[in-house]
C-alpha cells in the first residue's frame, strides 16, 4: 500500500479468484470452467476478428446486441455487454446502490457482492440462508434495499423458482433487484421474461460457463431500457471500449451456435448426475445443485483436507474457510475423463 491511497480504500478486503497455478498440469475442477472448447464457429469468428486487431472494437457491441435480442426475445436496447459479468455486477452496484438504503444479499453467495459493497461504501445486509442453505424469498419481501441474488446460488448450486424471484421484485418497487444467472443454463429457471413486466429487475448473465468462453471475458445484463441506459452511463464514464474485438466475435459465434451450446450443456448435466451418484456412494452429502459444479461434504473430513490431498494428486477443487462452509468442497463438473480422475483420486484418499 502506498501513502497515496485513498483512506476509504485502506481496509478493503479484495476478491480472491480461484487459483490458476502454472507450476504443473492439474485436472482443474476449481473455477467452474467448461470442459468443452469454444464452439468451432466462435473460434473461427474470433480468429478472423484478430486480423483486424489494429482497429477499435465497436463500443456499442451492435452485432452482439442483435444476436442477443433474437436469442432472448428482447429488444436491442434491453441488453448491455460487459467485460465478464463481474463488470455488469459492479456497474449495477455503482449505478443503483446508495449509502442510505444499502444492499441485501445472502450470507452465503458469490463473494464479490460484499467486495463491491465495501468498495462503494454501501451498507450490506447479509441475510443468512437456512441451515440447509435454502433461501427464503420472504426474507427479501419489501426489504427496500438493492437486492442481489445468484440463482442458482454459488457455491451451493441451489436454485429458487421464478415465482419466488417475482415475489421479491414485485414487493420492492423502489429498488432494483439484480438476479445473477451465471449458472442458470444448467438447470435453473430464468427470470428474463419478467423484465417486460417489471422496471426494477436486472438479470446478469455470462458466457464463461455454459458458452465455454471464460477466457474471453464476456458478460451481459438484461433489463428495462432505462436500467440499461444507466449501466451505459457507468460504462461510458469508465471504459467505453470495454469488450474487445475478438471477444465480440467469439460471443457472436457462441450465441449463433445453438446446437453446440445444447450439446455441451446436456453433457455437463449428464456428467453432474453421474458424479453426484458416485460421490453419494463414497459417502458424500450433496446440495441439490442446478449448476455446473457440486457442493459436497464428507462427514468428519474437513473440506480443506480433501482439497489439499486432491491437490497433491493433481486434482484441483475449491474449499472455503468460513464456518458454515468449511466442511465442503466445491467441485466443477468436468468431462467424463476428468470426473473419473477425480473419483479415482478420492477413492485413494478416503
Residue 289 near its own copies by CB under 8 A: no
Work out whether 17 is an interface residue with its own copies (CB under 8 A). Answer: yes
Answer yes or no: are the C-beta atoms of 196 and 186 closer than 8 Å: no
Q: Closest separation between CB of residue 115 and its own copies, Å?
A: 5
Measured N-to-C along each axis, helices 258-281 and 336-349 cross at an angle, to the nearest 10 degrees, of: 20
Three state DSSP letters for 289-318? CCCCEEEEEECCECHHHHHHHHHHCCEECE
Looking at the DSSP assignment, which residues form a beta bridge with residue 205?
220
Among 79, 165, 204, 246, binds its own copies (CB under 8 A): 246
How far is 192 from 221, CA to CA, in rounded Å?
Answer: 10
Q: Is 35 in the site for its own copies (CB under 8 A)?
A: yes
User: Which three cell numbers mark 96?
Assistant: 443503483
DSSP-assigned beta bridge partners for residue 149: 179
Helices (H), the chain: 40-50, 62-72, 85-96, 112-119, 162-170, 225-238, 245-256, 258-281, 303-312, 336-349
Cβ proximity to its own copies: between 9 and 277 the closer is 9
In order, the DSSP letters of 26-68 are: -EE-SS---SSPPPHHHHHHHHHHHTTTTSPP-TT-HHHHHHH
Contact pick of 6, 131, 163, 322 for its own copies (by CB under 8 A): 6
CB of 125 to its own copies, least distance (A): 18
Asked if residue 22 binds its own copies (CB under 8 A), the reply is yes
Is 332 a residue that touches its own copies (CB under 8 A)?
no
- Residues 47-106 binding its own copies (CB under 8 A) are 47, 49-60, 62, 83-84, 86-87, 90, 94-98
Site membership for its own copies, residue 281 (CB under 8 A):
no
Nearest residue (CB) to its own copies, 206 versus 287: 206
User: Considering only residues 66, 214, 256, 269, which one is a binding residue for its own copies as defined by CB under 8 A?
Assistant: 214
Q: How far is the CB of 69 from its own copies (least distance, A)?
A: 17
Q: Does 11 bind its own copies (CB under 8 A)?
A: no
- Taking the least distance from each CB to its own copies, the nearer of 43 and 256 is 43
Q: Does 338 bind its own copies (CB under 8 A)?
A: no
| Residues contacting 131, CB < 8 A, separation 6+ | none
* β-bridge pairing 146-150 and 177-180: parallel
Q: Taking contact as CB under 8 A, which single stretch among the options 125-133, 181-189, 227-235, 295-303 is the one that binds its own copies? A: 227-235
**Residue 229 interacting with its own copies (CB under 8 A):** yes
CB of 309 to its own copies, least distance (A): 24
Amino acid at each position: 500500500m502506498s501513502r497515496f491511497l485513498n483512506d476509504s480504500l485502506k481496509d478493503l478486503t479484495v476478491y480472491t479468484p480461484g487459483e490458476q497455478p502454472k507450476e504443473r498440469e492439474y485436472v482443474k475442477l476449481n473455477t467452474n470452467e467448461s470442459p468443452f472448447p469454444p464452439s468451432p464457429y466462435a473460434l473461427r469468428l474470433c480468429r478472423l476478428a484478430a486480423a483486424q486487431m489494429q482497429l477499435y472494437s465497436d463500443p456499442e457491441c451492435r452485432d452482439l446486441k442483435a444476436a442477443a435480442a433474437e436469442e432472448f426475445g428482447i429488444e436491442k436496447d434491453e441488453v448491455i455487454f460487459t467485460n465478464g459479468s463481474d463488470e455488469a455486477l459492479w456497474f449495477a452496484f455503482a449505478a443503483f446502490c446508495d449509502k442510505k438504503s444499502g444492499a441485501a444479499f445472502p450470507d452465503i453467495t458469490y463473494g464479490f457482492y460484499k467486495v463491491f459493497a465495501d468498495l462503494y461504501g454501501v451498507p450490506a445486509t447479509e441475510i443468512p440462508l437456512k441451515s440447509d442453505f435454502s433461501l427464503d424469498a420472504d426474507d427479501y419481501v419489501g426489504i427496500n434495499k438493492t437486492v442481489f441474488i445468484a440463482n442458482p446460488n454459488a457455491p451451493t448450486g441451489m436454485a429458487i423458482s421464478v415465482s419466488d424471484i417475482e415475489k421479491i421484485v414485485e414487493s420492492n418497487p423502489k429498488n432494483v433487484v439484480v438476479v445473477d444467472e451465471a449458472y442458470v443454463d444448467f438447470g435453473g429457471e430464468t427470470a428474463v421474461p419478467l423484465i417486460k413486466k417489471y422496471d426494477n429487475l436486472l438479470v446478469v448473465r455470462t458466457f464463461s460457463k455454459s458458452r465455454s468462453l471464460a477466457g474471453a471475458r464476456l458478460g451481459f445484463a438484461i433489463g428495462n431500457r432505462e436500467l440499461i441506459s444507466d449501466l451505459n452511463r457507468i460504462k461510458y464514464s469508465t471504459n467505453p471500449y470495454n469488450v474487445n474485438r475478438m471477444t465480440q466475435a467469439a460471443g457472436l459465434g457462441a450465441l449463433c451456435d445453438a446446437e453446440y451450446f445444447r450439446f455441451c450443456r446436456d453433457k455437463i448435466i449428464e456428467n453432474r448426475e453421474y458424479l453426484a451418484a458416485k460421490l453419494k456412494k463414497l459417502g458424500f452429502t450433496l446440495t441439490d445443485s442446478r449448476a455446473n459444479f457440486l457442493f459436497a461434504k464428507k462427514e468428519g473430513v474437513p473440506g480443506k483436507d480433501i482439497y489439499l490431498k486432491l491437490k497433491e494428486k493433481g486434482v484441483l477443487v475449491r474449499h472455503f474457510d468460513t464456518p458454515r462452509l468449511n466442511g465442503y468442497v466445491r467441485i466443477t463438473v468436468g468431462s467424463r475423463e476428468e470426473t473419473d480422475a477425480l473419483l479415482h483420486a478420492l477413492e485413494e484418499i478416503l
